[in-house]
């Protein structure tokens, strides 16, 4: 992050006022723009982390740094929009959004489709660090943003190196995470990390026990947060064009269509339609009896990065309740929106015939299937075979689960989408 000489701040503090002051000091700016709605989420998150998460020293420092980074990002974004008002005019088109439970192949499908020439995706480093890093001069008096690090397409953006190091350190601290998720600093990943900068996402609860924050989030209207996500996507798209990281269209001249994905979106389909009225949704399906314990294992591993007091049963209950509620909300949302805006994708079908499934999706979207797309996807599949990663091992009883219990908890969803599938 920025290298500006800063005042002395407590690196373990979770006091909102200090975090804001530290971010402003690092950014050399206090202009958060017209929308300061993030402050309530910041306050509730900090109180929950302080009073409920039982953070260890590493966890406290990590949460402090991550929050400051998000605040610096918000300040940096406002600086760019002020200097480059044309960013507001970036057209995101009608995105394709992949939704589904964790462990249903959303990442694989996202990266598979993103390998084709007609689609746009955001890499992990772009959603983790959506604003370019500045040099030592944050005043703007000695040059403009476009002169700063990361803007020169002839050299590698320093955010990539920072992302690689963060991934390396994460997997070094908790190696089991490598078997849970295909971590790749330069691979397509979830834009839920963009919502983290609005302080309205499930990212904090995936890494710490923050029940008060979770309850607060459940009561919020997330349309404003999704509008901020769209703002950041426009910024990322503008940066891609400025740096030459993306073609201006596919080989046939069509506009590249954004593909987004996050299990988080399951609970907020209505907000997605409010912000992106022309979107299409791909919903992936796999039996929750298989996916929920795997998700709980991931939460347990992430919580272990931040606390020495991790309760596997609490992780299990959190994942079961969170995603059970999300699936129910998604099913109700699907009843309110046109059926032809949704396509169901079976996890097993993608596993058996990924190219055939990709072509089916292309046909449904009205996208032009080409030999170039097929070759690109075949290459991605060859380079990213699941067997190259260690198996993810866990036991249902570790999280207080039983197959019968999970089957009952997700009975409506399983009846509608799992048990009738071939």
Q: Could you count the other beta carbons within 10 Å of the beta carbon of residue 337?
A: 15
pLDDT grade, residue 386 (50/70/90)?
low
Q: At what angle do helices 57-83 and 38-52 cross, to 10 degrees?
A: 170
Asked whether the predicted pLDDT for residue 303 surpasses 50, the reply is yes
- Angle CA(313)–CA(316)–CA(322) in degrees, nearest 5? 135
State how far the Cα of 56 lies from the Cα of 64, in Å rounded to an integer: 12
Asked whether the predicted pLDDT for residue 267 surpasses 70, the reply is yes
State how far the Cα of 199 lies from the Cα of 193, in Å rounded to an integer: 10
User: What DSSP letter does each residue of 388-412 carry, written as one string?
Assistant: GS------GGGGT--HHHHHHHTHH
How high does pLDDT run on average in the chain? 89
Asked whether the predicted pLDDT for residue 206 surpasses 80, the reply is yes
- The pLDDT, as a whole number, for residue 143 is 37
State how far the Cα of 130 lies from the Cα of 27, in Å rounded to an integer: 15
Q: Could you count the other beta carbons within 10 Å of the beta carbon of residue 405?
A: 13
Question: Dihedral of CA 40/46/47/52: which sign?
Answer: positive
Structure tokens of 421? 């599938």
Asked whether the predicted pLDDT for residue 322 surpasses 50, the reply is yes
- The pLDDT, as a whole number, for residue 281 is 98
Which residue, 141, 142, 159, is CA-closest to 150? 159
DSSP state of 85: G
- The pLDDT, as a whole number, for residue 367 is 94
| Residue range 396-413, pLDDT digits in tens | 999 999 999 999 999 999
Structure tokens of 187? 């691979």
310 near 303, Cβ under 8 Å? yes
Under CATH, what is the fold of the domain 16-131+157-418?
Rossmann fold (3.40.50)
Q: Give the residue carrying structure tokens 């691979």.
A: 187
Which residue, 191, 187, 213, is CA-closest to 46? 213
- Average pLDDT estimate for 368-392: 84
Give the residue extent of every domain in the chain: 16-131+157-418
- The pLDDT, as a whole number, for residue 51 is 97
- Angle CA(71)–CA(75)–CA(76) in degrees, nearest 5? 115
The fraction of the chain above a pLDDT of 70, given in percent, is 89
Contacts of 172 (CB under 8 A, 6+ apart): none
């Amino acid at each position: 992050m920025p290298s500006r000489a800063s005042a002395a701040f407590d690196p373990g503090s979770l006091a909102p006022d200090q975090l804001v002051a530290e971010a402003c000091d690092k950014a050399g700016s206090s202009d958060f723009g017209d929308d300061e709605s993030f402050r309530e989420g910041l306050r509730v998150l900090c109180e929950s982390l302080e009073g409920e998460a039982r953070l260890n020293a590493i966890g406290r420092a990590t949460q402090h740094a991550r929050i400051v980074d998000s605040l610096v990002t918000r300040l940096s974004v406002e600086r760019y929009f002020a200097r480059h008002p044309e960013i507001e005019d970036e057209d995101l088109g009608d995105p394709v959004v992949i939704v589904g439970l964790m462990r249903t192949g959303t990442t694989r499908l996202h990266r598979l489709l993103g390998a084709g020439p007609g689609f746009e995706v955001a890499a992990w480093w772009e959603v983790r660090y959506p604003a370019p890093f500045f040099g030592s001069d944050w005043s703007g008096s000695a040059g403009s943003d476009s002169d700063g690090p990361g803007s020169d397409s002839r050299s590698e953006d320093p955010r990539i190196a920072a992302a690689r190091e963060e991934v390396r350190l994460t997997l070094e601290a908790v190696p089991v995470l490598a078997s849970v998720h295909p971590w790749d600093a330069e691979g397509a990943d979830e834009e839920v990390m963009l919502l983290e900068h609005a302080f309205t996402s499930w990212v904090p609860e995936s890494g710490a026990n923050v029940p008060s924050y979770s309850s607060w989030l459940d009561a919020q209207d997330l349309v404003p947060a999704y509008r901020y996500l769209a703002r950041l996507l426009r910024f990322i798209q503008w940066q891609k064009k400025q740096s030459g990281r993306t073609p201006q269209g596919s080989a046939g001249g069509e506009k590249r269509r954004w593909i987004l994905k996050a299990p988080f979106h399951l609970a907020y389909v209505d907000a997605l339609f409010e912000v992106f009225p022309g979107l299409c949704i791909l919903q992936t399906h796999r039996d929750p009896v298989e996916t929920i314990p795997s998700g709980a294992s991931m939460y347990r591993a992430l919580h272990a990065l931040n606390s020495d007091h991790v309760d596997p049963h609490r992780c299990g209950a959190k994942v079961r309740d969170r995603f059970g509620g999300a699936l129910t909300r998604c099913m109700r949302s699907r009843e309110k929106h046109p059926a032809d805006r949704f396509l169901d994708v079976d996890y097993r079908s993608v596993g058996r015939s990924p190219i055939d499934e990709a072509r089916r999706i292309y046909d449904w979207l009205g996208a032009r299937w080409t030999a170039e797309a097929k070759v690109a996807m075949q290459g991605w599949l060859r380079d990213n075979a699941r067997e190259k990663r260690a198996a993810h091992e866990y036991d249902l009883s570790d999280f207080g689960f039983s197959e019968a219990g999970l089957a009952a908890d997700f009975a409506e969803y399983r009846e509608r989408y799992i048990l009738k599938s071939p």
